[in-house]
């Protein structure tokens, strides 16, 4: 299934033409044959999405607990069939957290307040990088947002290395989905989190939680954080950066990780 489609559009004073529109389709997650949740998502990088969502939601604790991922398409949408380890599946059945797939809220459908915050270990404090590398990464990202360039409707996430280079760029109509895809792509090739994560959206509570779940200590957003995100980042030892634009930003928690920060 394509991530974009050509549809007719009318603009005042201009003859009718075709416009490139981002696709938004239901994507269902099934674990060991049992339906879990349905998300609205861009139909691209779906194996990364399946792995990233499974890890960041705590359904599995490591890549090796996912044995197989199969993707099937139907008229109603796409289904991701995951085979996971028996222990992970047993825990999933106990929790049975039922998420309603939305593009704007990562907590919709949680059945109780106890499900909102997971017990996560603190992110190790020893990983540092130059603030200039974040600036360079954000400068490079727009050129690799190919779907955003053609549709103007999607978010992106990526990893920034210490030299400012970026990798594992993933796009989606949902900001949580884009981050899950990037984290899934990273987890499939590297079990040692390093560098920083960039997102082209606001930084919400769950974006911090997803980053910390995979051990990333720096999360930088082009827009603002929420107060809940700042409090969680402070608690989990995550460096949270907002308003990362040009050569400027706001660092809300644990600025010691970013060298070159003015005191």
Would residue 123 count as lying in a domain? no
Question: In the annotation, is 105 catalytic?
Answer: yes
Q: Categorize the per-residue pLDDT at 114 as very low, low, confident or very high, splitting at 50, 70 and 90.
A: low
Do residue 91 and residue 163 come from a single domain?
no
Provide mean pLDDT across the span 94-100: 58
Residue 44: domain span? 25-115
Do residue 60 and residue 145 come from a single domain?
no
152-180, pLDDT tens digit by residue?
999 999 999 999 999 999 999 999 999 99
**Encoding tokens for residue 139?**
């400068």
Would residue 2 count as lying in a domain? no
Would residue 163 count as lying in a domain? yes
The tally of domains found in the chain comes to 2
Do residue 158 and residue 240 come from a single domain?
yes
Q: Is the pLDDT of residue 244 over 70?
A: yes
The CA radius of gyration of the chain, in Å to the nearest whole number, is: 19
Do residue 78 and residue 133 come from a single domain?
no
- Looking up tokens 């082209």 gives 200
Would residue 249 count as lying in a domain? yes
How far is the C-alpha of 147 from the C-alpha of 163, rounded, in Å? 25
Report the side by side order of strands in the sheet with 34-41: 34-41, 25-31, 77-84, 66-74
Q: What local confidence, expressed as pLDDT, does residue 102 receive?
A: 46
Q: What local confidence, expressed as pLDDT, does residue 112 receive?
A: 54
Do residue 156 and residue 66 come from a single domain?
no
26-44, pLDDT tens digit by residue?
999 999 999 999 999 999 9
Do residue 90 and residue 197 come from a single domain?
no
188-204, pLDDT tens digit by residue?
987 678 899 999 999 99
Final residue of a structural domain among 53, 86, 115 = 115
Q: Is the pLDDT of residue 97 over 70?
A: no
* Candidate list 105, 108, 139, 249, residue with the active-site label: 105
The CATH number given to whatever domain includes residue 74 is 3.10.20.10
Provide mean pLDDT across the span 68-77: 96
**Encoding tokens for residue 122?**
């603190």
Would residue 9 count as lying in a domain? no
Would residue 124 count as lying in a domain? no
User: Which stretches does DSSP call E strand in the chain?
Assistant: 4-11, 14-22, 25-31, 34-41, 66-74, 77-84, 129-130, 155-160, 166-172, 196-199, 218-221, 239-245, 248-251, 258-259
How far is the C-alpha of 31 from the C-alpha of 29, rounded, in Å? 7
Do residue 86 and residue 140 come from a single domain?
no
Provide mean pLDDT across the span 71-76: 96
How far is the C-alpha of 113 from the C-alpha of 97, rounded, in Å? 12
């Amino acid at each position: 299934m394509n991530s974009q489609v050509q549809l007719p559009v009318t603009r005042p004073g201009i003859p009718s033409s075709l416009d490139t529109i981002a696709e938004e389709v239901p994507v269902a997650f099934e674990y060991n044959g049992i339906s879990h949740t349905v998300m609205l998502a861009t139909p691209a990088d779906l194996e990364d999405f399946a792995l990233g969502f499974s890890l960041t939601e705590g359904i599995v604790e490591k890549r090796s607990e996912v044995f197989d991922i199969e993707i099937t398409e139907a008229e109603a949408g796409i289904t991701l069939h995951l085979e996971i380890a028996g222990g992970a599946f047993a825990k999933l059945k106990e929790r049975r957290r039922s998420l309603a797939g939305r593009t704007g809220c990562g907590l919709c459908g949680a059945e109780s307040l106890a499900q909102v915050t997971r017990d996560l270990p603190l992110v190790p404090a020893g990983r540092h990088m130059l603030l200039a590398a974040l600036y360079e990464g954000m400068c490079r990202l727009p050129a690799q947002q190919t779907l955003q360039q053609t549709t103007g409707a999607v978010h992106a996430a990526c990893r920034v290395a210490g030299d400012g280079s970026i990798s594992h760029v993933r796009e989606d109509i949902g900001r949580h989905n884009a981050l899950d895809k990037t984290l899934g792509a990273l987890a499939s090739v590297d079990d040692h989190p390093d560098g920083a994560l960039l997102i082209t959206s606001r930084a919400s509570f769950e974006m911090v939680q997803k980053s910390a779940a995979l051990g990333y200590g720096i999360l930088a957003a082009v827009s603002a954080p929420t107060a809940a995100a700042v409090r969680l980042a402070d608690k989990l030892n995550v460096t949270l950066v907002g308003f990362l634009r040009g050569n400027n930003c706001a660092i809300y928690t644990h600025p010691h990780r970013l060298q070159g920060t003015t005191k």
